[in-house]
Amino acid sequence: MSVSAVSLEGQRLPEFPDREPWIAPGCDLGWVTDRLARLSEGPAPRWWWRAFWISLLGSALLVALLAYQISVGVGVWGNNRPVMWGWDIINFVWWIGIGHAGTLISAMLFLLRQRWRTAVHRAAEAMTIFAVLCAAIYPAVHVGRVWFDWWLLPLPNSYGPVWPQFRSPLMWDLFALGTYFIVSVLFCYTGLIPDLAVLRDRARTKLGQWVYGLLALGWTGSARQWSHYQKAYLLLAGLSTALVVSVHSIVALNFAASQLPGWHTTLFPPYFVVGAIVSGLGMVLTLLIPLRRLAELDDVITLRHIDCLGKLTLAMCSLLGYAYGTELFMAWYSGNPFERFAVLHRATGPCAGAYWGMIGCCLVVPQLLWWPKVRRNPAMVWVIALLINVGMWLERYVIVVGVLERDFLPPNWSAYWPTWADVGTYVGTFGLFMTCFLLFMRFLPLVPIFEVKTTLPQADPQQPQGSPKLGGQT
Amino acid sequence: MNLEHQSPEADPISPEVARSKPDDEPAAGQTQRHYWRSLQQWAELARWDSQPQQERGGTAEAWAEPVSRRHFVKLMSASLLLAGFGCTGCRRPEEPILPFSTQPPGYVHGLSQYYATAMPTQTGAVPLLVKVHEGRPIKIEGNPLHPDSNGGTDLFAQASILNLYDPDRVTQFKHAGQPVSRTEALDTLADLAKQFAANQGAGLAVLLQRSSSPSRERLIRALRARLPRAGWYVYDPVDFSRAELAARLAFGRPVRPYCRLDQARVIVALDWDFLGTEDNQHVAIRQFAQGRRLLKPTDPMNRLYVVESLLTLTGAQADHRLVLPPSAIIQAAAFLCDRLLGPAGAPLLSALRQAGPVSDQAAAWLAGCAADLLKPEHRGHSLVFAGHRQPLAVHLAAQAINAALGNIGQTVVYHAAAAEPFETLAQLRQALDAGAVQTLVILGGNPVYDAPADFDWGRTQRKAKTVLRLGYYEDETSAAADWLLPQAHYLEAWGDARTSDGTLLPVQPVIQPLFGGLSELEVLARLGALEPVDPYHIVRATFRELVGAAQSEELWKRFLHDGFLPGSAAKPEPVQFDFIAAARATEVTAEPPPSKDALEVVFSRDLKVDDGRYNNNGWLQELPDPITKLTWDNAILISPATAQALGLPRLQPAGPDWRVPVVQVTVADRTLTGPAWVQPGMADFVLGLTLGYGRSRTGRVGQGTGYNAYALRSWAAPNFVPGAKLKLTTQTYQLACTQSHGALEGRGAVREANREEYQRQPNLALELDHPAAHGPGLAHGQRRPLYPNPLDQPGPDGRTPRQRALHAWGMCIDLTACVGCGACVIACQSENNIPIVGKDQVARGREMHWLRLDRYYATGPAASQPQALAQVQVIHQPMLCQHCEAAPCESVCPFNATVHDEEGLNVMAYNRCVGTRYCSNNCPYKVRRFNYLDYHRRPLYLLRGPVYASPLVHRTEGQWDLSRWWRHPDGSLRPKTEWELLKLVQNPDVTVRMRGVMEKCTFCTQRIEQAKIANKMGAGPSKAGPLPDGAVLTACQQACPAGAIVFGNLKDPNSHVAQLKRQGRNYVVLEWLLTQPRVSYLARIRNPNPAMPDYVLPPLSRLEPEASGRQPSAES
């Protein structure tokens, strides 16, 4: 593709900041379409099959273990009294945290006109949906009598009627999660429509044409459609951003509405939102860094993207550190000995390892991201992201188990160990997550085709020729 | 309470029960009804019932099962026969039956009946009322009418109902291990009887356990007359007879002491665990609590001095506690005699002095104690007594002191005792060794397990040609017996007994023997070919003999109805202490104090399984030991300092799952290995071993629990033995302990004060609230509760629903009275169908008790030294759902499954519960229990992790569980025999909860509702006012021998509970959370003597540092 030259003689070319391009030099619009659509066309690469079978095995494990747990009882897990919530809720909060960042990264960055989001936001959104799916398994099956879960819905009934307890944060959670999931799916799907049209147009099989055609909702790319589309997308982005904050605040209220020292604190909602962003960023990086190598997307997801994500991670981790500090300060400042004990216990009691691990992984290690060299070293960023995931898991462990194992009366103090079924179920959720994610990238464009194009110099109306210095084509 | 009783020869029950006639079965669809009108006719039907199944067609499989439902029903219908004898309600067959057309007198369908009976113990009996529902006994309660009872019981009585329905009981008569028919076994007994009648009982030896039954005494008397050459032997592994022996020697006549603890102001217990392991614990607890019942600060209060070596329940109540090795307690007794006896006691004193002097520290303590005893106001109001473990000399010393202090006739009285012509186990062994025993009859007991290790009883017993055993379980002794006769439970057979004060009680059966078992009386009668053999007639004959034939009929009815014979208590005998005789009987040798290389082993009766007889009782096995809080095992108890000296690894409490080192204990040439448990409050260089565990043959429940301490016990030293060595092995053992943190951590859950403080400041308890309540802006009244009660919203009439309610239920627990015996826990378990979960689940922290006893150790600030840990103070606190008015559990449940009712109950709707478990997380008292694994339906072996059998792939009795479930949704993963029997013990008024459901204390809401219904039936529905005080007793309250738990209506200002709550001692736990619990506690008041060297003010728990992140050091 070439752009016809316009005579610019006598005119001064606008000054462009000396910036790295978002997409590697030499990539034109056609290349982008070919490259990104190729992921879902043609035979799947060998690495994909390998990853897929392993993930499918993990999903099978999940199904088997859930059948075991549901047929035997919650006792197959390590939960006890007083630690009535264990890995089930830890993993729920962990997955939901991951599930929050995707939409947040996508929607918030969209609202803030961060153009670099284009390369990563679809992956993040897909991650969101599947993480929420994994998360939703836990509250659904961790209850004692799974088959009565539907009682949580305020359905008309003949029992009096008996309604759910609207004062319970678990009740709010259902609605918050449900709304969030629906909006996330809508948001992701809306973003997909123009790309689905591309796939439809490129499809070689009847089935492909038919399915993609159906999903593309008759997209033709007319100006009128684009105008509607952008309005809708903007609205959904605004809604999603608000929802992300509200949903994770409500997850935080699951804890904060109780009266346990260590849970009952007003800090929790913002603390959880920040934590969710951190864990989501960690997961996005954990997924994308190997993926850009495996799927040969280095030119689309460039070091500059990773650099940006790194900066964002650093900012969020520092904010999280601030929350940790506030927790300590408030425990001291409250003058409540039970609060103080709860905080001291975390740092010195049986869960001290988890506590210091959390501080190390979520606060100390990410400080390495201050150095541009680290941020631009994918291997190092990947290790840091992995540690952040671990740290965020430990944070939830400290919050759930660390508080429950030492509450008000010393005779109730106890200890908690997970069982093999706990571990297996957790591993299984990874299987499910990866299975879904791999299928998504196999059949849908994981990197938004049309949006990436907007970051190309060719797409910039202010620069009809593109910047020669930066590799624009003449 | 509904006291129902069918008078003996009154009209027989005449229910018009219709049954299809046996011989001419009508065509299907039409049933020819035949009514029976007399018991004789019914008996014929019952006889027809026992004919082989083939003769009358029908399903044969139901009869092949030993305990199928049908079989049970058959037994129960037979029990109607006994109804006329005033013993039982009736469980009717299910299918061919119609409702009564005429109700039996006093019978209301669905309403339980109560029968008075008694549980015999070694030296007495527990007077009981048994609740019978549709013919099956389901709950045991104390008989409040009995003059020496307040309706409280001990935990054994509460738990004994589970033994009745134990699937591991002996269910068949057996010869050489093979089942034989009952007739065959009885014929053998008849043959033996003929043989002995011919040779005057030559070669017959009968081994018995002690009993208070007058009928048994009478039978044995008769048998001795008939069979003069037979030998009569008695053996009890835990022998309580030493005090009686001492009294016999010191007073020169057969008398036995009876302590009246309620009369004593100063009590000195010399290794005397009267609140725990001595017999008749429930009487002692009641009397002791009566002596410290404080209604106002000026009320008198007794003072308890305890000298002991282990930490016992009595030691936990002590105001002053001196810890000495068991062999040194005689030195303490000698010291006290020196101070207290005066010149008359010189000969006894010089004999006692051989024991050697006490240490200076102990001397100061004992001198203070003696000075207190000598105070003029305590003359005649003190009591010094020795425990069953102590040698005769200590008993003599204690009784001499009582004589010197003028206590005899006041705090201790002597009743006439039967002459004791029984011979001992050692004599039986000699006879067996000499080949003089042809036939050995063992009635009860389990000597192969619990006889002294040096007797090698399993082999010794075999020296008899024929061993005939009446046994309840197929245990070690049954295995070494030729004939095994199933023993009847005391609820299945007639008997009688005397309580410790001598009152005569009937032991009325309330159910026909489930497996055709025999009672001791019947076996004895058959053995002597005495007539009648029927225990009922035996007991009646005894009764006639005791009260005289003239007035026997009327009295007998009264006797059965009330459950005791009024005025039959023994009269105190005038006695004179003979110091010379006592001195002559005193044999003392000085023992060197125990040391690291020569430890002293103490054998103690277990608080839960007794001497091993309750080993297969799941409720008792799972009850946490009141002191150690261990379940399902016994451990070798070692003091912290000794553990350090012996190099035992220091343990960190890590929840309920403890891995402890296994140690090997050697005494002489005998060894045993067992888990070591570091126990604060014990004497140094002493090992505490509890009996009753480590059984080689027991039922499914008791299997694999603990180690066998009998392996170290010899005939010469059954109670404590010096010179033991301890070796640490490399193994470890898992123990399940329900409470891993014992320190109060300054959290004020238990509030206590010394008596002087309390008198100075009657509202002290209120001011001991946790400092959190006094933080900025947190003062009382300034805050709203976090979870306000929705029922506090006023209605249209301006009153809230709670204000409109007739009742406001509340409970008050007196921590000064509570001794932590655990009877309430078992009573609650029995009343509320609480399942046991097994050791593995307890170790995972999932026990289900709705009511638990929190045990705190208080060591004060000096807790870091192991030496200081000998001086622990112990506090027990019953902890149950506090029924908060502003309940944190209610508003977090998304399913609305736990809600408040107008009368203040925090109600749990099991049907609505889905099991998010948030309520438990938010409960500051952690009193909610979650049924993690269908504990009712799974047998114990399926409750062991880490892999649990899933019904998807598991088979039971050759059937896939899913298909079993499909066919019988109410079935279980238990074998049918076990399930059918265990179902019978459930209280029909309480839901049997399934898995995945949260459960907790309901304040026995079923009892409240029953009382309300009864009230309405009496007054008419519109007029029924509030229930009178005392109309509802919760199960725990009913069982508490101390009367520590009081429940009632707070709206009635005159109710007992409302009065108690007005006391200055009243407080609620975690008050500053503003949950406003309906359960409150009365602060514990200690009564230490300021003149004592170990006096501390305030109690140690208040000197404890506040909780910090550290591990409490009192733990190991």
User: Could you please report the per-residue DSSP string of A248-277?
Assistant: HHHHHHHHHTS--TTT--TTHHHHHHHHHH
- Nearest-Cα distance to chain B for A154, in Å, is 10
Around Cβ B534, how many Cβ atoms within 10 Å? 15
Instruction: Give the one of B741, B787, B894 whose C-beta lies nearest to A170's C-beta.
Output: B894
Instruction: Give the one of A67, A149, A413 whose C-beta lies nearest to B914's C-beta.
Output: A149
Q: Residues 6 or more apart from A37 whose CB is under 8 A from it?
A: A198, A199, A202, A445, A449
Contact check, Cβ <8 Å, B1109/A348? yes
Q: Which residues of A touch B769 (CB under 8 A)?
A: none
Amino acid at B621: Q
- Nearest-Cα distance to chain B for A168, in Å, is 4
The listed CATH number (3.40.50.720, 3.40.605.10, 3.40.50.740, 3.40.190.10) that belongs to domain B173-239+422-503+516-536: 3.40.50.740
Q: Put residue A344 in one of left, alpha, beta given phi > 0 → left and psi -120 to 50 → alpha.
A: alpha
- Report the complex ipTM: 0.90
CA–CA dist B141, B149 (Å, integer): 11
So what's the pLDDT on residue A244? 85
CA dist B1091 → A220, B184, B371, B1084 (Å): 101, 71, 9, 21
How confident is the model over B884-918, as pLDDT tens digits?
998 999 999 999 899 999 998 999 999 899 999 99
CA dist B67 → B163, B802, B964 (Å): 15, 49, 19
CATH 3.30.70.20 describes domain B27-56+743-794+807-1086 = yes
How confident is the model over B757-790, as pLDDT tens digits?
888 888 877 777 665 544 434 444 556 788 888 8
CA–CA dist B804, B903 (Å, integer): 9
What is the arithmetic mean of pLDDT over B513-541? 89
The three-state secondary structure class of B975 is: coil
Q: Which residues of A touch B742 (CB under 8 A)?
A: 410-411
The three-state secondary structure class of A236 is: helix
Q: Cα-flanking dihedrals φ and ψ of residue A201, to 5°?
A: -70, -30
Helix %, strand %, coil % of chain B (to 5): 30, 20, 50
Amino acid at B1097: L
Contact check, Cβ <8 Å, B916/A413? no
B658 inside 8 A of chain A by CB? no
Contact check, Cβ <8 Å, B893/A71? no
What is the arithmetic mean of pLDDT over A83-93? 93
B779 inside 8 A of chain A by CB? no
Around Cβ A9, how many Cβ atoms within 10 Å? 4
Report the percent of chain B where pLDDT is more than 70: 86
B929 inside 8 A of chain A by CB? yes
The listed CATH number (2.40.50.140, 2.40.40.20, 3.60.10.10, 2.115.10.20) that belongs to domain B603-737: 2.40.40.20
Map tokens 């897929």 to a residue: A52
CATH number of the domain located at residue range(s) B242-416 in this protein: 3.40.228.10
Rounded to the nearest integer, the mean pLDDT of chain B is 84
So what's the pLDDT on residue A353? 92
How confident is the model over A299-353, as pLDDT tens digits?
888 888 899 899 999 999 999 999 999 989 988 887 788 888 888 888 888 889 9
Report the percent of chain A where pLDDT is more than 90: 45
The yes-or-no verdict on residue A473 having pLDDT over 70 is no
Q: For residue A341, give the chain B residue with the closest CA.
A: B1108
Q: Which residues of A touch B820 (CB under 8 A)?
A: none
Contact check, Cβ <8 Å, B918/A170? yes
A141 inside 8 A of chain B by CB? no
Peptide bond into B532 cis (omega under 30): yes
How confident is the model over B590-611, as pLDDT tens digits?
888 899 889 999 999 999 998 8
How confident is the model over B544-591, as pLDDT tens digits?
888 887 777 888 888 888 889 988 888 998 888 888 888 888 888 888
Segments making up each domain of chain B, as ranges? 27-56+743-794+807-1086, 173-239+422-503+516-536, 242-416, 603-737
What are B232's strand-pairing partners? B206
Q: Which residues of A touch B892 (CB under 8 A)?
A: 165, 167-170, 257-258
Q: For residue B1109, give the chain A residue with the closest CA.
A: A345
Amino acid at B396: L
CA–CA dist A240, A190 (Å, integer): 13
Residue B1036: both structure tokens together: 């725990």
Q: Are B793 and B890 in contact (CB under 8 A)?
A: no
How confident is the model over B632-656, as pLDDT tens digits?
999 999 998 899 899 888 776 677 7
The yes-or-no verdict on residue A266 having pLDDT over 90 is no
The sign of the dihedral angle between the CA atoms of B410, B412, B415, B419 is: negative
So what's the pLDDT on residue B207? 93
Query: In terms of pLDDT, which residue wins out, B110 or A184?
Result: A184
The yes-or-no verdict on residue B985 having pLDDT over 80 is yes
- Counting beta carbons within 10 angstroms of the beta carbon of residue B130, is it exposed (0 to 12), middle (13 to 18) or buried (19 or more)? buried
- Nearest-Cα distance to chain A for B846, in Å, is 6
The yes-or-no verdict on residue A120 having pLDDT over 60 is yes
How confident is the model over B281-302, as pLDDT tens digits?
999 999 999 999 888 888 899 9
Q: Which residues of A touch B929 (CB under 8 A)?
A: 81
- Nearest-Cα distance to chain A for B889, in Å, is 9
CA–CA dist B770, A261 (Å, integer): 15
Q: Residues 6 or more apart from B1105 whose CB is under 8 A from it?
A: B745, B746, B861
So what's the pLDDT on residue B766? 73
Q: Which residues of A touch B1108 (CB under 8 A)?
A: 341, 344
CA dist A392 → A129, A317, A345 (Å): 19, 10, 19
Q: Are A93 and A400 in contact (CB under 8 A)?
A: yes
Q: Residues 6 or more apart from B838 whose CB is under 8 A from it?
A: B622, B632, B940, B943, B944
Q: Is the pTM of this model over 0.90?
A: no
Residue B132: both structure tokens together: 């019978």
How confident is the model over B712-733, as pLDDT tens digits?
999 998 999 999 999 999 998 9
Residue B911: both structure tokens together: 């049907």
How confident is the model over B1072-1089, as pLDDT tens digits?
888 889 999 999 999 999
Contact check, Cβ <8 Å, B775/A336? yes
The yes-or-no verdict on residue B14 having pLDDT over 90 is no
What is the arithmetic mean of pLDDT over B76-80? 50
What is the arithmetic mean of pLDDT over A26-42? 80
So what's the pLDDT on residue B420? 67
Helix %, strand %, coil % of chain A (to 5): 70, 0, 30
Peptide bond into B572 cis (omega under 30): no
Contact check, Cβ <8 Å, A409/B749? yes
The three-state secondary structure class of B987 is: coil
- Nearest-Cα distance to chain A for B1110, in Å, is 7
A169 inside 8 A of chain B by CB? yes
- Counting beta carbons within 10 angstroms of the beta carbon of residue B537, is it exposed (0 to 12), middle (13 to 18) or buried (19 or more)? middle
Contact check, Cβ <8 Å, B952/A67? yes
